[in-house]
């Protein structure tokens, strides 16, 4: 029938008396193409599904049957039907940004994105983008995205604010600021300071400790303490206190990036202020800027916030698409994808990577530092502290870039401050730059998929901003705040 232009639309396989029979529906229709396969064992079926996903094919039906005592699967997939949609506010002179984002999203099969840009204190572009299927609506300029490690910019700013208020110092020791449950087996822990945590030199190296990351060890910690899921931040601290540090605090050139250190900074904020971490950030940093949408996200799909996008795995091996033990549900079966509970708890990640928000909110936040003399949330000296070099050296292989207080800083004639974010189903960037022409640019680019095609968002966004092109004389803050 294929020779006559038909393609399989549905099939059913069943075995009776040792004889396997297939029933199918064949369709001939302009533009309709399907891919089908049968006689697959379960492992082959899983691999085939991954291949179809990475080729942007959608599984429409499958049927299990027995063949000579073995389990077999037949299945049909069809190409996803996608449409390009751009929403929000822009100007004809800025069409180049829509074109650039469209190219990135279509190359990476990314269904939702958002871009916002402010120039010299004026919001000039706020866009939502959809390369979407019929099951998924296009993103709006006000759609919520997981921000991942951009969250550290909020936490670092809050710590600097507490230092400005005299409620904290860079030299204050971790052990004096929060409860430290469990036995501390490494005496060097007593030397870990606020500055060490801010600059990722506290002593933890997730690439050294047999690739141990406390923020992705929920099942290990629950088993070690014989406690139910979900585990708490306190359990993470207790378990990690029972392990040796990987290097003496502060005694490393550059930094060793760790989410755990920023989770600890979140606990410090709570201990010093007496407020929940989220409430302090919202009250102190966001409310003075008129930002109301930024909030802590949730791990499970059922707890997705109103207006929040869906998240999708990137191009992965079959292991990346395997259902896993849910790390945030008590006695949960193996039923979670890596984007929704199969890898880590967003609730515990919190200060290190748990926020959700919009691109326009991020640009509003970053623009607050453009004029340090009149910054609504930090003093001029504190803005300087936020981005300043420190005694621990530059980032490895980047002798003009250092990790400041929740921000990466690239020094030079046209300095940049930025942070990327990566989670399963998330790739984000918040970026600030002063151009050779003297323009102050703040931009945020958010995607709902961690695709290999957008592995270097910083370069992609920089190229967009620095490309020759006009800037309109518009100011559209009042459309969103």
Residues 271 and 138 in one domain: yes
Q: Are residues 62 and 91 in the same domain?
A: no
- Percentage of the chain beyond pLDDT 90 is 68
Q: Give the residue from 31, 59, 79 where a domain finishes.
A: 79
Task: Rank 234-243, 247-256, 412-421 by mean pLDDT and report only the highest.
Answer: 234-243
Give the pLDDT of residue 189. Answer: 97
**Least confident window among 145-154, 270-279, 337-346, 388-397:** 388-397
State the DSSP H helix or E strand holding residue 59, giving kind and residue range, or none if neither. strand 57-67
Euclidean distance between CA atoms 198 and 201, whole angstroms: 8
Q: 71 lies in which domain range? A: 2-79
pLDDT exceeds 80 at position 34: yes
Same domain, residue pair 13 and 156: no
Same domain assignment for residues 203 and 113: yes
pLDDT for the residue numbered 398: 64
**Same domain for 223 and 363?**
yes
Identify the CA nearest to 252 among candidates 293, 178, 315, 200. Answer: 200
Query: Can you give the CATH number for the domain in which 220 is found?
Result: 3.40.710.10
Alpha carbon distance 339, 111 (integer Å): 15
Q: Is the pLDDT higher at 336 or at 168? A: 168
Shared domain for 146 and 284, answered yes or no, is yes
Q: pLDDT tens-digit profile of 346-398?
A: 999 999 999 999 999 999 999 999 999 999 999 999 999 999 988 887 766 66
pLDDT, residue 474, reads: 94
Domain boundary residue, one of 63, 79, 95? 79
The helix-helix angle for 151-164 and 346-353 (nearest 10°) equals: 60
Going by the DSSP 8-state scheme, the letter that residue 395 receives in this structure is P
Buried b / exposed e along 39-68 (16+ C-beta atoms within 10 A): ebeeeebbebbbebbbeebeeebbbebeee
Across 70-74, 233-237, 452-456, the highest mean pLDDT is recorded for 233-237
Residues 69-101 pLDDT 10s: 789 999 999 988 899 999 999 999 999 999 999
Tens digits of residue pLDDT in 172-189: 999 999 999 999 999 999
- Whether residues 72 and 124 share a domain: the answer is no
- 205 and 295 in a common domain: yes
pLDDT for the residue 210 = 61
**pLDDT exceeds cutoff 90 at 305:** yes
pLDDT mean across residues, the chain: 91
d(C-alpha 128, C-alpha 98), whole Å: 10
Determine the average pLDDT of the residues in 414-428.
Answer: 93
Q: Enumerate residues 6+ apart whose C-beta is below 8 A from 437.
A: none
Contact 352/252 with Cβ under 8 angstroms?
Answer: no
DSSP secondary structure letter of residue 144: B
Residue 148 and residue 56 in one domain: no
Query: Are 57 and 185 part of one and the same domain?
Result: no
Tell me whether residue 200 is exposed, middle or buried, using C-beta atoms within 10 angstroms of its C-beta: 0 to 12, 13 to 18, 19 or more.
buried
Q: What is the mean pLDDT of residues 453-475?
A: 80
Q: Residue 319: pLDDT above 60?
A: no
Give the pLDDT confidence score for residue 455 in this predicted structure.
65
CA distance 114 to 104: 12
Average pLDDT over residues 21-32: 86
pLDDT band at 244 (very low <50, low <70, confident <90, very high): very high
User: Domain boundary at 79, 104, 130, which?
Assistant: 79
DSSP secondary structure code for residue 261 in this structure: H
204 in the same domain as 66: no
Residue 317 pLDDT greater than 60, yes or no: no
pLDDT of res. 3: 76
Work out the average pLDDT over 210-239.
Answer: 92
* Same domain (yes/no): 15, 88: no
Give me the number of domains the chain comprises. Answer: 2
Is 349 in a helix, a strand, or coil?
helix
* pLDDT score recorded for residue 322: 64
Rounded to two decimals, what is the model's pTM? 0.92
Q: Are 344 and 425 in contact (CB under 8 A)?
A: no
């Amino acid at each position: 029938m294929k020779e006559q232009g038909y393609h399989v639309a549905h099939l059913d396989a069943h075995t009776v008396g040792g004889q396997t029979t297939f029933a199918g529906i064949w369709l001939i229709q302009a533009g309709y193409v399907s891919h089908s396969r049968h006689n697959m064992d379960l492992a082959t079926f899983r691999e085939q599904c991954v291949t179809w996903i990475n080729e942007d094919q959608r599984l429409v039906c499958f049927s299990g049957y027995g063949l000579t005592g073995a389990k077999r699967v037949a299945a049909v997939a069809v190409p996803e039907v996608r449409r390009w949609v751009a929403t929000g506010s822009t100007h004809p002179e800025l069409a180049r940004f829509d074109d650039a984002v469209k190219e990135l999203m279509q190359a990476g099969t990314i269904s939702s994105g958002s871009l916002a840009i402010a120039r010299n204190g004026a919001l000039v572009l706020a866009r939502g983008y959809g390369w979407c299927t019929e099951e998924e609506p296009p993103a709006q300029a006000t759609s919520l995205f997981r921000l991942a490690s951009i969250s550290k910019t909020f936490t670092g700013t809050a710590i600097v604010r507490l230092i400005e208020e005299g409620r904290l110092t860079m030299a204050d020791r971790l052990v004096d600021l929060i409860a430290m449950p469990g036995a501390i087996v490494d005496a060097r822990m007593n030397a870990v300071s606020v500055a060490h945590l801010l600059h990722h030199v506290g002593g933890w190296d997730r690439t050294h400790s047999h690739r141990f990351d406390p923020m992705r060890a929920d099942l290990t910690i629950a088993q070690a303490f014989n406690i139910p899921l979900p585990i708490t931040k306190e359990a993470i601290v207790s378990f990690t206190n029972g392990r040796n540090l990987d290097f003496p605090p502060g005694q490393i050139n550059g930094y060793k990036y760790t989410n755990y250190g920023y989770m600890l900074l979140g606990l410090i904020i709570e201990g010093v202020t007496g407020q929940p971490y989220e409430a302090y950030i919202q009250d102190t940093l966001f409310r003075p800027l008129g930002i109301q949408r930024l909030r802590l996200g949730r791990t499970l799909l059922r707890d997705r916030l109103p207006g929040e996008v869906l998240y999708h795995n990137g191009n992965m091996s079959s292991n990346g698409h395997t259902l896993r033990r849910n790390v945030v549900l008590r006695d949960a079966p193996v039923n979670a994808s890596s984007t929704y509970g199969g890898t880590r708890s967003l609730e515990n990640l919190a200060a290190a990577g748990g926020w959700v928000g919009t691109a326009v909110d991020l640009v509003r936040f970053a623009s607050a530092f453009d004029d340090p003399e009149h910054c609504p949330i930090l003093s001029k000296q504190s803005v300087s502290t936020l981005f300043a070099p420190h005694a621990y050296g530059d980032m490895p292989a980047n002798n003009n870039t250092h990790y400041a207080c929740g921000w990466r800083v690239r020094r030079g004639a046209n300095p940049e401050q930025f942070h990327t974010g990566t989670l399963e189903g998330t790739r984000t960037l918040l970026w600030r730059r002063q151009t050779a022409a003297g323009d102050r640019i703040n931009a945020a680019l958010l995607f709902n998929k961690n695709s290999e095609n957008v592995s270097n968002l910083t370069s992609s966004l920089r190229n967009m901003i620095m490309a020759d092109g006009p800037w309109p004389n518009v100011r559209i803050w009042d459309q969103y705040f």
